[in-house]
Amino acid sequence: MFHKKLAPFPKDFLWGAASAAYQVEGAWNQDGKGPSVWDVFSKIEGKTFEGTNGDVAVDHYNRYQEDVRLMAEMGLKAYRFSIAWSRILPQGEGKVNEQGVQFYEKLVDELLAHGIEPVVTLYHWDLPLYLQETYGGWESRRVIAAFKDYCRILYQRLGKKVRYWVTMNEQNVFTAMGYRWELHPPNVSDLKRMFQANHHINLAQAEAILLFKELVPTGLIGPSFGYGPVYPASANPADVLAAENGEAFNNGWWLDVYCKGQYPKVIWQYLAEQGLTPVVEKGDLELLAAAKPDFLGVNYYHGGTVAQNEYEQQAASPQREKTFSGIDPYHIQPADEQQASPEKALFTNVENPYLTKTAWNWEIDPVGFRIAMRRLQDKYNLPLFITENGLGAIDVLTEDGTIEDDERIAYLQTHILEIQKAISDGVEIIGYCTWSFTDLLSWLNGYKKRYGLVYVNRNEASELDLRRIPKKSYYWYQRVIAANGELPLDDN
């Protein structure tokens, strides 16, 4: 819809930035920290760009005061960071590492002293290695109890200081990358195991929310989901149906559990036909139904475009009419293929001719951001907190010591404008965290792919001096924050 005048951002809007423990902290075995699955996986040959790992990362653990000072100078209102589970509990359970807890207490205190709202993410992919090796990680229900105990420690130690908490970061991403594509730990390709692990993570998420309501009654908690709207390739009803399938399979499968406390019936029925649904024990569904988040965190980068699934395309094709005449298209699918790639019978991914792409082939779609916010508000009626949004690019440190990242400014500018339009549409938004504050270790792409507002002087081969250098986008975002989004967004 068109608005003659856009609504202003709320006066208490949280202009923020984000990070994740493994990607910034380093100090992988310092002060009693135990190993995580990423400390091992990143050292498997060929799994990361040029063998990069988070042993040092950008050394935020030892330089957090400098980083917070830069946040304060920018005027940041919120900083979202994750806590390394194995820094609190080196084995993921059992004895608490007091030095680890104290680090996060000091970080929170430093943020609050500078007027910055801490936003704590409980789980951002770095499962303690002991839990993976001893129990099988998220495939074991034992890890649900371990996660609840871990959360209890943090709620008790930080609950009076931290108002905003995120349970799971991008559960849809880390389950698929770890249990399907072998690109993350535990380095598995087995959809049946993926859906079972995903169910246990849902239960852990629910336990974390219910315990939070008990121990931190004045706080707010919710998951962060990697959401992308799904578009039909055309007005052909078959493509529209494919988009409905894509939205349900890619998004609703997780979001309905988070926000409605139940698995969506259509996708559950379809996965049951493939033998892919998880084992659900007595009391599981009641637990999911009881845990309602206070907000929905949204990590937005892009969506996707789909056409009718290839099997029905084949059955409807005039060239194939004789071959498939009178045959149910679902009967032409090899059973093993359907189980290994269940979406093949739901939709076909296609290129969107209306969108440009980043250097990493990610679509740039700011209008899709507004679509995402509208859809989520309408379907789930929860406040939204934009917990990630940003541009990964190849940033160059010039001879005069500056980083001219105009491409990032243009990206942020267009996406922030769509947030204001969504607010004008009536969407309730708590805040916006760019990804990321400093440059950080990309899980798979090392330091070549940079997201930060602050440049960190290091590369894949060497930590160099790890100097922090604000980019042009840092100063641009500084002005946006100071004006609460009212600064002309094309003034860079």
Give the integer Cα–Cα distance in Å for 439 and 336: 42
Asked whether 84 and 21 are in contact (CB, 8 A), the reply is: yes
Q: Which of 388, 404, 428, 460 is catalytic?
A: 388
Tell me whether residue 388 is one of the annotated catalytic residues: yes
How big is the CA angle at 121 (ends 184 and 301), to the nearest 5 degrees?
60
Quote the DSSP letter at residue 390: -
Alpha helix segments (H runs only) across 250-295: 253-260, 265-273, 284-290
Per-residue buried b or exposed e for 370-379, using 16+ beta carbons within 10 Å of the residue's own CB = bbbbbbbbeb
Asked whether 91 and 131 are in contact (CB, 8 A), the reply is: yes
Give the integer Cα–Cα distance in Å for 387 and 121: 10
Burial classification of residue 54, based on how many CB atoms lie within 10 Å of its CB (0-12 exposed, 13-18 middle, 19 or more buried):
buried
Of the candidates 368, 234, 356, 251, the residue with the CA atom closest to the CA atom of residue 307: 234
Q: Determine if the peptide bond prior to 186 is cis (ω within 30°).
A: yes
Active site residues: 388
